[in-house]
Amino acid sequence: MSETASLVVPLRRDSGGTFRVGATRVPLDTVVHAFNEGATPEEIVQRYSTLRLADVYAVISYYLHNRAEVEAYLRRREQEAENLRRKIEADFAPHGIRERLLARRAEARSAPAAPCEPHE
C-alpha cells in the first residue's frame, strides 16, 4: 500500500467538556476503562449497545496512539469528579442522615392529620 489511510476518530466534546463516542452518550472514559480492564471491542459493544463496533476500534486505536494525552484527560476528569464529590458532601453532609430521616418520620407520624374537605 502506497497511500496512508486517514482515520477519523469518532469523538465529540459535549457542552460539559466530556468526550463522547460517536453519536452516543457513552463517554471516552467508559471505553478506555473497559479496554484497560481487558474487554475486547466486541465485548464493549455488547455492554453498551448504542456504540458501533467500528467506532470502538477507532477510539481504542486513537487511545493507543495518544496514550499520554488521553490519560491526562482521564486524570483531569477523575480530579473533577473527586472535587464535585467533596463539594456535594460538604453541602449535604452524609453524616447522621439516617438519624435525621428517622426524626422526620417520627415528626410526621406525631403531627395531627390535616382535615379532609368534602368534595362537591
Q: Is 2 left (phi over 0), alpha (psi -120 to 50) or beta?
A: alpha
Higher pLDDT, residue 109 or 69? 69
Residue 28 has pLDDT above 70, yes or no: yes
Is residue 1 very low, low, confident or very high in pLDDT (cuts 50, 70, 90)?
Answer: very low
pLDDT tens digits for range 61-104: 999 999 999 999 999 999 999 999 998 888 877 677 788 888 88
Identify each DSSP E strand in 1-120 by its residue range: 11-13, 19-21
For the chain, domains (ranges, CATH) are 11-78 (1.10.10.10)
**Which secondary structure element, helix H or strand E, spans residue 120, and what is its range?**
none
Q: What is the pTM of this model?
A: 0.71
SS3 22: coil
Tell the residue number behind the cell numbers 460517536, with chain if given.
22
